[in-house]
C-alpha cells in the first residue's frame, strides 16, 4: 500500500532541507515544517541549548509524565547538493535523511497527531535537531529540564525490527613523552612513538581489531601523530586518537566515569604514556521482556513482519533514557545507504510501520506503578 500523498508531499519538502549541524536556519526550518505538519490543537514546548533547537509536543495543558515518548531527530549529516533533491525510483525514495530518519519522523508525527487525543494515557512527540552531533543539546537537554516518560520509541532506521541495545562511546587520547636525539644515535634518545606503538599493541591485544561484526568492545586508532618534521630525529612527543565503542556488558567501561576509564586505559600504557579521556557516552539497553517491548513485537507480527531484536554498534539518543532507568527502543522504517551517497527509504515499509505504531499504542494502558 502506498503512503498517502500528504505524507509523501511533506517528505519531499522536509528532505529538501539541508538540515546539517552548520546550518542553524535550516535546522529551525526542518523543525517548523514538522510542527506545521502536526498542526494545531497541541501544546508545543520549545527548547534551545548550544544553539540547537528542539520541541516537545503533547495534548493538554500542564506537562505530565508521559506513558510513551516518540522521539525523532531532524538533523542529517552533510551530503552533496543532489542528495537534497529527493527522487523516487519505484518503491525507493532517495535523499539524504530519507532512511535516517526524516520519513520515520513524519510517520511518528502522523501517529501522534491522530492518536494522542484519543488515548487514555499521555504521549509526547519529541523533535530534536542535534542527534548526529551527539544529542546532548536535544534529547538530553529536555530530560535534564524535567521531561519524563515510562518508555521511549526512537524512529531511527530498523526495517521494523526492534533495537534494544546500542553501544556506548569513549573518545580518548594517548599522549607519549620521550627524549629527543639524533636518529643516528637512537640510544641517546627515548622514542615517544615506540612507547606509543607498544601501548597500542597492549590495548589491541585486549581489544583486537574486528574483521567481522562482533558484539564486544572495539577500539579504532583514528590517528597517530608526532610534531617532528625531520626524519633524522628521535621524537620526544607522540599522540594517538582512540574511538572506543562498548556494549552494556563491558563492566570495565559501562557506568564508569572519565577518570575511572582513564585509570583502566593506564593499565595498558608503557611508562611515559598518559591516557586522556575526552567524552564518555553511555550504551543503551532495554528489557526485552517488558510490557512495551512485548506489545511492540505483537504489533509488528500483525503487519506480517518478524519482530527480530537488533543490536546497533553506533550511539543513539536512547542512551540518555537508559541512564535514567527508562527503557528505549529504536524502531523505524526500512531502507539502506545511511550516511552514504545513495541513501533511501523503502516506501513499502511506511504503512506497515504506521499501522504497527498505532497497534502498539492501542495495546498499552496507563503505566502501573512498580510494573514492568
Q: Compute the distance between CA of residue 86 and CA of residue 77 in angstroms, rounded to an integer.
A: 15
- What is the tens place of the pLDDT at every residue in 220-235? 999 999 999 999 999 9
Q: How many CB atoms lie within 10 A of CB 25?
A: 9
Q: Please, which residues bridge with residue 69 across strands?
A: 124, 152
Q: Compute the distance between CA of residue 124 and CA of residue 10 in angstroms, rounded to an integer.
A: 20
pLDDT of 283 above 70: yes
Q: Compute the distance between CA of residue 53 and CA of residue 33 in angstroms, rounded to an integer.
A: 13
Mean pLDDT of all residues in 78-86: 96
- Whether residue 2 contacts residue 22, with contact meaning beta carbons closer than 8 Å, is answered with no
* pLDDT score, position 66: 98
Q: pLDDT-derived band of residue 316, with 50, 70 and 90 as boundaries?
A: confident
Q: What percent of the chain has pLDDT over 90?
A: 95
CA 289 to the chain's CA centroid: 23
Q: Please, which residues bridge with residue 49 across strands?
A: 52
- What is the tens place of the pLDDT at every residue in 151-210? 999 999 999 999 999 999 999 999 999 999 999 999 999 999 999 999 999 999 999 999
* pLDDT score, position 369: 57
* pLDDT score, position 372: 47
Mean pLDDT of all residues in 215-219: 96
- Whether residue 116 contacts residue 40, with contact meaning beta carbons closer than 8 Å, is answered with no
Q: State the average pLDDT for the chain.
A: 96
List phi, psi (to 5°) of 9.
-65, -45
- What is the tens place of the pLDDT at every residue in 22-44? 999 999 999 999 999 999 999 99
* pLDDT score, position 314: 84
Question: How many degrees, rounded to 5, is the angle at CA 316 between CA 311 and CA 317?
Answer: 130
Q: Phi/psi zone of residue 354: left (φ > 0), alpha (ψ -120 to 50 degrees), beta?
A: alpha
- What is the tens place of the pLDDT at every residue in 350-363? 999 999 999 999 99
Cα–Cα distances (Å) from 44 to 61, 73, 267, 350, in that order, read 10, 16, 50, 26
- Whether residue 326 contacts residue 290, with contact meaning beta carbons closer than 8 Å, is answered with no
Higher pLDDT, 116 or 365: 116
- Using omega within 30 degrees of 0 as the cis cutoff, is the peptide bond preceding 210 cis? no
Cα–Cα distances (Å) from 206 to 11, 215, 265, in that order, read 46, 15, 11
Query: How many Å from the N-terminal Cα to the C-terminal Cα in the chain?
Result: 35
Q: Look at residues 70, 63, 74 and name the one whose alpha carbon lies nearest to residue 14.
A: 74
pLDDT of 342 above 80: yes
Q: For 339, which DSSP code?
A: T
Give the pairing type, strands 284-285 and 273-281. unpaired
Q: pLDDT-derived band of residue 366, with 50, 70 and 90 as boundaries?
A: confident
Amino acid at each position: 500500500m502506498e503512503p498517502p500523498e500528504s505524507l509523501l508531499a511533506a517528505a519531499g519538502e522536509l528532505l529538501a532541507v539541508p538540515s546539517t549541524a552548520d546550518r542553524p536556519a535550516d535546522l529551525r526550518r526542518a523543525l517548523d515544517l514538522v510542527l506545521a505538519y502536526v498542526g494545531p490543537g497541541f501544546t508545543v514546548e520549545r527548547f534551545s541549548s548550544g544553539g540547537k533547537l528542539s520541541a516537545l509536543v503533547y495534548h493538554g495543558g500542564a506537562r505530565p509524565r508521559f506513558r510513551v515518548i516518540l522521539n525523532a531527530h531532524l538533523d542529517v549529516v552533510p551530503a552533496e547538493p543532489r542528495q537534497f533533491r529527493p527522487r523516487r525510483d519505484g518503491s525507493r525514495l532517495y535523499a539524504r535523511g530519507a532512511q535516517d530518519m526524516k520519513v520515520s519522523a513524519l510517520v511518528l508525527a502522523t501517529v501522534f497527531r491522530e492518536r494522542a487525543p484519543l488515548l487514555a494515557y499521555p504521549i509526547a512527540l519529541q523533535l530534536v535537531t542535534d542527534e548526529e552531533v551527539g544529542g546532548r543539546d536535544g534529547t538530553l537537554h529536555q530530560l535534564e529540564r524535567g521531561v519524563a516518560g515510562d518508555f521511549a520509541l526512537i524512529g531511527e532506521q530498523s526495517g521494523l525490527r526492534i533495537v534494544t541495545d546500542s553501544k556506548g562511546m569513549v573518545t580518548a587520547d594517548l599522549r607519549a613523552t620521550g627524549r629527543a636525539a639524533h636518529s643516528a644515535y637512537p640510544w641517546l634518545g627515548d622514542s615517544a612513538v615506540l612507547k606509543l606503538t607498544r601501548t597500542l599493541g597492549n590495548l589491541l591485544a585486549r581489544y583486537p581489531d574486528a574483521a567481522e561484526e562482533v558484539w564486544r568492545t572495539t577500539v579504532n586508532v583514528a590517528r597517530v601523530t608526532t610534531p617532528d618534521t625531520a626524519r633524522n630525529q628521535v621524537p620526544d612527543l607522540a599522540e594517538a586518537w582512540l574511538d572506543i565503542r562498548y556494549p552494556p556488558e563491558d563492566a570495565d567501561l559501562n557506568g564508569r566515569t572519565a577518570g575511572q576509564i582513564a585509570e583502566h586505559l593506564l593499565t595498558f600504557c608503557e611508562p611515559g604514556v598518559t591516557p586522556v579521556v575526552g567524552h564518555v557516552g553511555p550504551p543503551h539497553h532495554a528489557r526485552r521482556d517488558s510490557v512495551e517491548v512485548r506489545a511492540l513485537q505483537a504489533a509488528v507480527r500483525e503487519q506480517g513482519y518478524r519482530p527480530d531484536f537488533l543490536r546497533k554498534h553506533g550511539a543513539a539518543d536512547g542512551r540518555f533514557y537508559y541512564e535514567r532507568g527508562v527503557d528505549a527502543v529504536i524502531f523505524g522504517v526500512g531502507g539502506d545507504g545511511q550516511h552514504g551517497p545513495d541513501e533511501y527509504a523503502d516506501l513499502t515499509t511506511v504503512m506497515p510501520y504506521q499501522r504497527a505504531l498505532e497497534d502498539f499504542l492501542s495495546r498499552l494502558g496507563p503505566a502501573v506503578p512498580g510494573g514492568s
